[in-house]
Structure 1
Amino acid sequence: MKPEIFVLASDAERLELIADRLPASALDCKNALLGELARADIVEPDELPARVVTMNSTVRFEVIAPREEFCLTLVYPADLNTAPNQISVLTPIGTALLGMAEGSVIEWPRRDGQAVQVRVLEVLSQANGQAGA
C-alpha cells in the first residue's frame, strides 16, 4: 500500500503542465507523475503538514535494499544542476519522494524496472519555509 502524500496546489499545477509537455518517449515518467498527483491530497501552504517533501525540499532518504542513503533537494527539471545534490522530480526516485512524510516508505520501480523501497528519513527544509527536526 502506498503512503498518504501531500502536494502543494501550486506545485501540482506546475507539475501537471510539465507532465503534459513531456514527449511520447517519456510516457512512463508522465504516467507515474500524474498517478502520484491523482492520489495526492492537494493542499495550500497553510494546510501542509510539517516534515513533508515538497518541491525544492532538501530530504535525507534511503533506498532500503541494497541500503544506500542520500541527501538531495527535489527540483523541477528546469532547475536541475543549478546547485549540487539535486534530484529531478521526473526521475523515478524523485517522483516517489514527492509528498511523502518523514518515516514513510514506498515501493517504487527504478529506471531498470527493478522495485526498490524508499524511506524518507528526514525533511531538512521545506520550500514553504518549514523545516524538519
Structure 2
Amino acid sequence: MQPTFNEDRTLSELDHVRISRLLQRDPRMLRNPAVPTGSPLHEVLEGADLVSPREMPPEVVTMYSRVSVEDTATGKRSVLTLCYPEDTDPAEGFVSVLSPIGAALLGKRVGEIAEPGSPGSAPPPLRILEILFQPEASGDFTL
C-alpha cells in the first residue's frame, strides 16, 4: 500500500508558490525522475491546506525549518533543515524539498511520521521529534 502524502499537510502560501514555480521554471526539474508528475511532492502541493505565513502553526515543517527527527527503524536521531535544491548540503543536514525525505517532511507536524518512500524501500520513515527553528515562528515570513 502506497503512503498518502497529502494527509495532514499544511503549507504556507509562499512556500507553495515558490515550490510550484521551482518545478515550472526549470525544465530539468520537470524531467527529473526524482520528481515525476504525480510524485509525492506534486501530491503535497495539490492536496495541502494553505495558510498565510503569519498564520503558520509553529509545529509545522516549512521551508528552512530545522527539525529533529528519529529513524523509526533504528531509533537514530538526526537534525535536518528543509531547503531548496541550490542550498542542499547532506553533510550539514540540508535536505532538498525535491528529495524523497524533503517532500515527506514538508507540511508535516511534530509527532507525525514522514514516509519518504514506499514500504520496504529506503529511506526509512522518520518521526518528527521537534522543530528547532521555523522561519515563520521566528517572525521571518519571507525566508
TM-score class, shorter: 0.7 to 0.9
Among 7, 18, 21, the residue aligned to 1:17: 21
Residues 24 and 4 (structure 1 numbering): CA distance in 2 closer, same or farther, change over 3 Å? same
Task: Check conservation: 1:29, 1:90, Cα contact below 8 A.
Answer: no
The alignment covers a number of residue pairs equal to 129
Among 89, 97, 111, the residue aligned to 1:89: 97
- The alpha carbon displacement at 1:7 in A equals 0.7
- The alpha carbon displacement at 1:108 in A equals 3.1
Q: Secondary structure at the match of 1:16?
A: helix
Task: Check conservation: 1:72, 1:86, Cα contact below 8 A.
Answer: yes
Residue identity over aligned pairs, in percent, reads 33
TM-score normalised by structure 1 residue count: 0.82
The CA distance in 2 between the partners of 1:88 and 1:25, in whole Å, is 14
Residues 27 and 94 (structure 1 numbering): CA distance in 2 closer, same or farther, change over 3 Å? closer
The CA distance in 2 between the partners of 1:127 and 1:34, in whole Å, is 23
Aligned CA RMSD, in angstroms, stands at 2.5
- The alpha carbon displacement at 1:39 in A equals 1.6
The CA distance in 1 between the partners of 2:138 and 2:9, in whole Å, is 17
Going by fraction, where is strand more abundant, 1 or 2? 1
Determine whether 1:42 maps to 2:57.
no
Q: Secondary structure at the match of 2:50?
A: strand
Q: Deviations over 1:36-61 (max 9, x none)?
A: 11121111022211111100010001
Residue type at the aligned position of 1:86: F
Unaligned runs of 5+ residues in structure 2 are none
The CA distance in 1 between the partners of 2:138 and 2:49, in whole Å, is 18
Task: Check conservation: 1:53, 1:59, Cα contact below 8 A.
Answer: yes
Task: Check conservation: 1:19, 1:34, Cα contact below 8 A.
Answer: no
Name the residue aligned to 1:80: 88
Residues 115 and 59 (structure 1 numbering): CA distance in 2 closer, same or farther, change over 3 Å? closer
- The alpha carbon displacement at 1:113 in A equals 3.7
The CA distance in 2 between the partners of 1:19 and 1:96, in whole Å, is 17
Name the residue aligned to 1:118: 126
Unaligned runs of 5+ residues in structure 1 are none
